[in-house]
Amino acid sequence: MKKILTLWILFIGYATAFAQDEVKEEKDKFLPQGNEAYSEKKYADAEADFRVSQSKFPKKAAASYNLGNSIYTQKHQVEAGFAYGNAIKNAITRDEKHKAWHNMGNVLMNMKDYQGAVNAYKNALINNPKDDETRYNYALARKMLKENPPKPKDKDKDKKDKDKKDKEKENKDKKDDKGNEDKKDQQKQDQGNKPQESPKPKPGQGNGISGQRIENLLDAVNHEEKKVQDKVKAQQVKGKPVRNEKDW
């Protein structure tokens, strides 16, 4: 209980100090209004003013830091962490960075992210090595990290995930193979349904006439031609002239 109280006191102290340092540099009316509402513990009102100030001066660290404080007090750790992150990014002086990192460490401690808290407090100490409160929180975060080390990666779960992916790939490959086989079968079936072409007749077998009959026809033609030639020769022997002109 004492440790929790110490963290709470440290947080409030840094919130007030940062606001006092930055309020003189800001020219908008929303930052002072937010600081006043925060001091009166009107944290929701303070948050509204700090959000407006942040939107108007996004490069100023004060509005983001004070916004983180008002959200942190309302126990919205994640949102507070984002606001402190913006403050760290835009912080200029080492004092600003120290305070923002310190309260970021408080957020991470509350979220039981002890490794993150150790890193945050370490960064705070880099910017202000003499701060005893940050040193105390850093030692506490290291102790909690030692007692609650991060859980080792679940190798069995990784193996199951890998086996699952391999199985899904195998099933996909089988499905693709089956689809290709079905495609080939369909192509074969389509080819089987095509009308078959009539075989072309071989030489000597066209029009149904056999080779022997063709030879007989050739012999008959040769025989008739011989008879004509014999007749012409007989006429020449008799001395009769052959008429070459046609009658009109």
Q: What are the pLDDT digits (tens) for 22-54?
A: 445 547 799 999 999 999 999 999 999 999 999
- In the chain, the percentage of residues whose pLDDT exceeds 90 is 46
Please identify which residue in the block is written with the tokens 């303070």: 46
What are the boundaries of each domain within the chain? 2-147, 211-236
In single-letter form, the type of residue at position 147 comes to E
- CATH number for the region 2-147 comes to 1.25.40.10
Q: What is the pLDDT of residue 27?
A: 73
Q: What is the pLDDT of residue 199?
A: 44
Q: Is pTM beyond 0.75 here? A: no
Over residues 118-147, the pLDDT tens digits come to 999 999 999 999 999 999 999 999 999 999
State which residues of the chain have pLDDT below 70: 1-26, 154-158, 177-179, 182, 184-218, 220-248
Dist. CA 162–CA 72, nearest whole Å: 41
Q: What is the pLDDT of residue 154?
A: 61
